[in-house]
Amino acid sequence: MSRPARALDAAPIPPAADDVPAGARTATTLTAGAAPAVAAPRGLTGRYTPPVPDRELTARSGDGVAFPVEVYGPGGGSAAGGAPAPAVVLVHGWTCSTLFWAPVIRELTATGHRVIAYDQRGHGRSPAPATPAACTTAMLADDLCAVLETALEPGERAVVGGHSLGGMTIMAAAGRARLRAHAAALLLCSTGAQHLPGQARVFPLPSERARAVAHRLLLHARTPLGPVTPLSRKALAYGTLGRAPRPDTVEATAALVHACPTPVRAAWGAVLAGLDLAARVPRLEVPTAVVAGTHDRLTPLPHARRLAALLPHCAGVHELAGRGHMTPLEEPETVSAVLAGLVRDHLPRPAGGAAASGTDGGTGAAGTAGPGAAAATSSTEESA
DSSP string, 164-233: THHHHHHHHTTT-HHHHHHEEEEEEES--SB-HHHH--SS--SSHHHHHHHHHHHHH------S--HHHH
pLDDT at 353 over 70: no
pLDDT at 220 over 80: yes
In this structure, is residue 11 part of a structural domain? no
Residue 82: predicted pLDDT: 61
**Stretch (H or E) spanning 318:** strand 314-320
| Total tally of structural domains belonging to the chain | 1
User: What average pLDDT is seen over the chain?
Assistant: 85
User: pLDDT: is 271 or 9 the higher one?
Assistant: 271
Bridge partners of 291? 189, 318
Q: Which residues contact 234 (CB under 8 A, 6 or more apart)?
A: none
In this structure, is residue 2 part of a structural domain? no
pLDDT in tens, 308-334: 999 999 999 999 999 999 999 999 999
In this structure, is residue 132 part of a structural domain? yes
In this structure, is residue 384 part of a structural domain? no
Neighbours of 204 (CB within 10 A): 9
Residue 352: predicted pLDDT: 56
Residue 150: predicted pLDDT: 98
Give the end-to-end CA distance of the chain in Å, rounded to a whole number. Answer: 28
Q: Are strands 288-293 and 183-189 parallel, antiparallel or unpaired?
A: parallel
Nearest to 19 by CA among 248, 173, 136, 201: 173
- DSSP calls for 239-264: HH--SS--HHHHHHHHHHHHTS-HHH
User: pLDDT: is 47 or 37 the higher one?
Assistant: 47
- Across the range 101-124, mean pLDDT stands at 98
Residue 196: predicted pLDDT: 96
CA-to-CA dists, residue 257 to 43, 97, 206, 262, angstroms: 11, 9, 28, 10
**Would you say 161 and 244 are in contact if contact means Cβ atoms under 8 Å apart?**
no
CA dihedral 251, 262, 331, 1 (to 10 degrees): -40
User: pLDDT: is 31 or 38 the higher one?
Assistant: 38
pLDDT at 2 over 80: no
Confidence of residue 241 (pLDDT cuts 50, 70, 90): very high
CATH code assigned at 173: 3.40.50.1820
CA-to-CA dists, residue 160 to 88, 108, 148, 364, 370, angstroms: 6, 13, 9, 18, 20
CA dihedral 106, 331, 101, 276 (to 10 degrees): 150
Distance CA 126, CA 292 (A): 27
17-31, 179-193, 343-357: the lowest-pLDDT one: 17-31
pLDDT at 370 over 90: no
| Residues across the chain | 384
Residue 228: predicted pLDDT: 93
pLDDT at 79 over 50: no
Distance CA 135, CA 133 (A): 5
pLDDT at 22 over 90: no
Residue 34: predicted pLDDT: 43
pLDDT at 13 over 70: no
In this structure, is residue 14 part of a structural domain? no
CA-to-CA dists, residue 43 to 156, 166, 256, 365, angstroms: 37, 23, 9, 40
Confidence of residue 38 (pLDDT cuts 50, 70, 90): low
In this structure, is residue 98 part of a structural domain? yes
In this structure, is residue 254 part of a structural domain? yes
User: pLDDT: is 176 or 38 the higher one?
Assistant: 176
Structural domain for 355, as ranges: 26-379
In this structure, is residue 9 part of a structural domain? no
